[in-house]
Amino acid sequence: MELIQEINNTRLLRDKDILVLEGKMTRLVYHLDIGMFDFVKGNLPALKNAFSKAVVKNGCCITSKQGVRSLSGYGAVWEGSLSGLKMSVTVEDGGLKLIQNFTVYSDAPFILTSLELCGEEEVSTNYMVPIIACGESGSLVDPGAGGDIRALFVPYDNDYWVRYVSCPIGDAKPGYVYPDDRRPRKEEMFKEGIRQSYEVASIFDNTTRKGLVMGSVSHEIWKTGIKITGASEGIVAGLEVYCGCADRYTRDYLSHGFVKGMTLASASIFIGCYEDYRDGLEEFGKLCAALNPPMKWDDDAIFGWNAYAGYEDKMDFERFVHASDFMKQNLQSKGFSHKGKLYVNFDYLWANLSEQELCKTVEIARENGQYAGIYFAPFSVFTDELDTVVEGTDGHYTYRDIILKDYEGNPLPKVNDGNQGYAADPTHPGNLMRVEHTINRFVKWGFRFVKLDFITHGSLEGGHYNPDIVTGKQAYNFGMKHLCGLLSYEKIVRPFFISLSIAPAFPCYGHSRRISCDAFGHIEDSEYMLNSLSYGWWMNGSIYRFNDPDHIVIDRRMNCPGSSEQEARTRINSGIICGGMFLDSDAFLEKTASDRAVKYLTNEKVTSLAQKGLSFRPVEGNSGDRAVDVFYRDDGDDFYLAVFNYGEKAVVKNINLVRVGLRQNKEYTFEDLWDKSSMTGKGMLAVSLEACESVILRTREK
């Protein structure tokens, strides 16, 4: 083959209609004669028979398989520590140009690809597909020989108790429901579970762990969807990575906004082949963070309390003071803190207090060596009195003005069938004034933490006030950059922790993001949250500083039945292994809650695990839409196992120690960090658990 260019172990070669772009680990083979490409790892095609396409607003479609194709550009690229070559192929057809960009790196198991759409006149599109593959025989994706090929579907956000799904490939049947600005979304629709992935997905063999990871690494304009179609023979029959996703799981009522211009670009798409799909997801997260650095947080962990579960709408000044004093006297110096500091946080309940009382709570928390936190839903409107004047706008705007409209100027319905208020337009001057007014008050009052809730509302498609903002992602970026700028260290000259609650995973703003929807204190809450950790652990320490396991309830939510002792300890364990954020949410005025807090939250061997800010990793990836039951963390000298029983009966969990990364022929002794008992295993470890029980085990014998 003719060598066209070579740099740092990356080469571009050509043999007639075959273009080969290769590094030391990967190879992209492009067939100019048919407009299709293969992604190759080693000697095996990881993805084959792929092409690209785009559809313009007038309905015209251009694909890489039609028209005239040519190699139109190539050159060296340097991105941080990565170096490689980029190649562009241009397809011309009927006055349109489709440019396919491919970048291969010298020492990376992944490539990046993107599209550009050009016209002789201005073009408009809301559907660009950098990768689409379909075939009648054989598998389009080859994760390697094995017996349990799976498709991992990742939710767009964490709302409405959505779950990650790792399904057998034969069950992967994408179901795309186009948004309709007036069609009601029935509850059973949500119970079906997600049928496509959002922003990132994986196809892997759980037996060998070999797999393909694909996803968008740029999130300025597009929502990216990933459709995977399997067949009963255990093969991948279809794959589509497309920009322009908008459906009931992005919470949209309208189709994705149209982007227009002389040259339009898709998101940049990552596709990598790995010996262990878990490594691939972690590398994907790190690359996203390298290209769009997350908000910096210098401290290691967040410990504290949130008012919501224990007190809900009964929260007041006296309850805040009691919680602050109780933690100072009973928890703060006994392991439940980070470097002696705690956060004491209001939820939406702060509206019950006067400004004078709020300032006093900040002062009391400071005297107790604590920071006070507060709550805000910047892109939501929770009132039906839409003609009410918006706070902070000097009477210029009402809520009717700032709520998001459709493309004809009609207000969009409340989000999720009316369950979660109206979406506010992040670009509307009235909402910008409202955000500035609220955030500036928080800073003035002395707060150091804010929980931002329902911010997926800010990413909805609609007719935005700012005419330059034409997609939901653009609006979300616009609104979040504005808000985070108000809390930047450069502006307020002090750290201010931003905690995202209901929020899309991408783009990444804030220091933490709740990994799931609401989770309280029963075993079903722990299992639900751990479903998200089972497949989203990799976000901790990469795109967000912390995964947030939601508030930890060890007694009961207000006006709800209490949890058992085993459920309480399991809920603690679920939070400890999630990352580095632990906020209790019990009513310490109740004896059971205060007794359990003193008993369980002062175990320094357990709480010290969260203080490092590191997530545990799942052992398996075959749990469907449930949580896996064994997680591990390797800290070098110490090796930890977390084992869960989500059932109502006692069980024995037989754990393959080789599968978790330990040696086959070595006998290990594990210590239970709760009761200090020990157990041994060689090759296998038998862990006996009561109903709803869990354990965290440690060995120092690696």
> What confidence tens digit (pLDDT) does each residue in 465-518 have?
999 999 999 999 999 999 999 999 999 999 999 999 999 999 999 999 999 999
pLDDT value of position 594: 98
**Is the Cα dihedral 458, 463, 468, 472 positive or negative?**
positive
pLDDT higher than threshold 80 for residue 349 = yes
DSSP letters for 657-680: TTTTT--TT-EEEEEETTT--EEE
pLDDT higher than threshold 90 for residue 141 = no
User: Tell me: the pLDDT tens digits for 20-37?
Assistant: 999 999 999 999 999 999
pLDDT higher than threshold 50 for residue 203 = yes
State which H helix or E strand residue 632 sits in.
Answer: strand 630-634
pLDDT band at 137 (very low <50, low <70, confident <90, very high): low
Q: Provide the token pair at 549.
A: 């396991």
pLDDT band at 335 (very low <50, low <70, confident <90, very high): very high
Q: How much of the chain, in percent, has pLDDT values that exceed 90?
A: 89
- CA–CA distance, 35 with 228 (Å, rounded to integer): 21
Q: Cβ(429)–Cβ(411) under 8 Å?
A: no
Q: Mean pLDDT check: name the lowest of 88-92, 93-97, 389-393, 650-654.
A: 93-97
User: Tell me: the pLDDT tens digits for 580-598?
Assistant: 999 999 999 999 999 999 9
Q: Mean pLDDT check: name the lowest of 41-55, 182-196, 305-319.
A: 182-196
Query: What beta strand segments (E) does 142-280 contain?
Result: 149-153, 165-168, 197-198, 200-205, 211-216, 224-230, 236-243, 259-265, 269-274
User: Tell me: the pLDDT tens digits for 653-674?
Assistant: 999 999 999 999 999 999 999 9
Residue range 97-117: average pLDDT? 97
Residue range 211-226: average pLDDT? 97
- In 3D space, the residue among 543, 646, 662, 552 whose CA is nearest the CA of residue 597 turns out to be 552
pLDDT higher than threshold 60 for residue 179 = no
Which domains are present in the chain? 2-291 (2.70.98), 377-510 (3.20.20.70), 629-699 (2.60.40.1180)
pLDDT higher than threshold 70 for residue 176 = no
pLDDT value of position 149: 92
pLDDT value of position 185: 45
pLDDT higher than threshold 60 for residue 182 = no
pLDDT higher than threshold 50 for residue 239 = yes
User: Tell me: the pLDDT tens digits for 448-467?
Assistant: 999 999 999 999 999 999 99
pLDDT value of position 175: 64
- CA–CA distance, 347 with 255 (Å, rounded to integer): 33
pLDDT value of position 191: 54
User: Tell me: the pLDDT tens digits for 361-377?
Assistant: 999 999 999 999 999 99
- Average pLDDT, rounded, for the chain: 94
pLDDT value of position 184: 41
Q: Cβ(616)–Cβ(533) under 8 Å?
A: yes
pLDDT band at 226 (very low <50, low <70, confident <90, very high): very high
pLDDT value of position 193: 67
> Model pTM?
0.96
Q: What is the spatial order of strands in the sheet that 512-514 belongs to?
A: 546-548, 512-514, 497-500, 449-452, 370-376, 342-345, 302-306, 581-584
CA angle centred on 348, ends 342 and 352, rounded to 5°: 100
